[in-house]
A and B are shown apart, each in its own frame.
Chain A
Amino acid sequence: MAWIALILAGLFESFGVAMMNQVQKTKNFFTIFLLISSFGTSFFLLGYALRFLPMGTAYAIWTGIGVVGGTIFGMIFYGESKDGIRIFLIGIILSSVIGLKLLS
């Protein structure tokens, strides 16, 4: 459960960052609500995961998944580059997360 919460926390984090960009374009109640609730959910889930997992591991995975989510989000919705190097770095992050899970 802690691992699922942690991965979800990272995904909500990247959604929150995407909403931060969205709020700069369309500032209305709905986007601000999405912004606050996604960061809130992210911190809540991270807090849950931190009660069970070592801090350093959980923090690194949270930021790693957050950045991977944000990058893939940008590739799909904002037409950001799908360079080999970016895909490779995503691969490094995801395999390290799997590595940490296997070690635990």
Chain B
Amino acid sequence: MNRQWQKVLIAALLEVFWVMGLAHAYDVFTWAGTIVALLISNYLMITAAQVLPAGTVYSVFVGLGTAGTVIADILLFGEPFEWLKMLFILFILVGVVGLKLITDEKQEARNE
């Protein structure tokens, strides 16, 4: 796989970590880890988006981030699985990805 896409995957994984940290950090070490994950995640994502189509990068990133936080919520923190809630979260994702991919198409059309 392309090196830039590997950066997007690592950024998404770190994104899930810092979100978990913001929700559950309780001491200096967990807070420090949270902030480091946040900074590295954003750095990787921004540098990848300068090379790859930005809207597509953001779509993949947010898709993985959302899936990751939902799964971590259910598996690690005992959040109940509710169909309707999953459906609404999925619809938000559809809206976000749709808006971002439209932006990419527009930019490519402009570059041609």
Q: How far is the CB of A14 from chain B (nearest CB, A)?
A: 12
**Contact count band on B:** 20 to 34
Contacts of A68 in B (CB 8 A): 95, 99
Q: How far is the CB of A59 from chain B (nearest CB, A)?
A: 4
Contacts of A95 in B (CB 8 A): 91
For chain A, what secondary structure do more than half of its interface residues adopt (helix, strand, loop), or is it mixed?
helix
The CA of A83 and the CA of B106, in the complex, are separated in Å by 12
A92 touches B94 (CB 8 A): yes
B23 touches A93 (CB 8 A): no
Q: Known contacts A56-B89, A60-B66; is A96 also within 8 Å of B95 by CB?
A: yes
Q: Which of B22, B66, B85, B95 contacts A50 (CB 8 A)?
A: B22
The contact string, 1 if C-beta is below 8 Å from chain B, for chain A 1-41, is 00000000000000000000000000000000000000000
A43 touches B92 (CB 8 A): no
B73 touches A56 (CB 8 A): yes
By a beta-carbon cutoff of 8 Å, the part of chain A in contact with chain B is: 43, 46-47, 50-51, 54-61, 63-64, 67-68, 71, 81, 83, 85-86, 89-90, 92-93, 95-97, 99-100, 103
By a beta-carbon cutoff of 8 Å, the part of chain B in contact with chain A is: 19-20, 22-23, 38, 62, 65-66, 69-74, 77, 79, 82, 84-85, 88-89, 91-96, 98-100, 102, 106
| 22 A-B pairs in the complex with CB atoms less than 8 angstroms apart | A43-B22, A43-B38, A47-B23, A50-B19, A54-B77, A55-B20, A55-B23, A55-B70, A55-B77, A56-B70, A59-B66, A67-B100, A68-B95, A68-B99, A90-B99, A92-B92, A92-B95, A93-B95, A96-B89, A99-B88, A103-B82, A103-B85
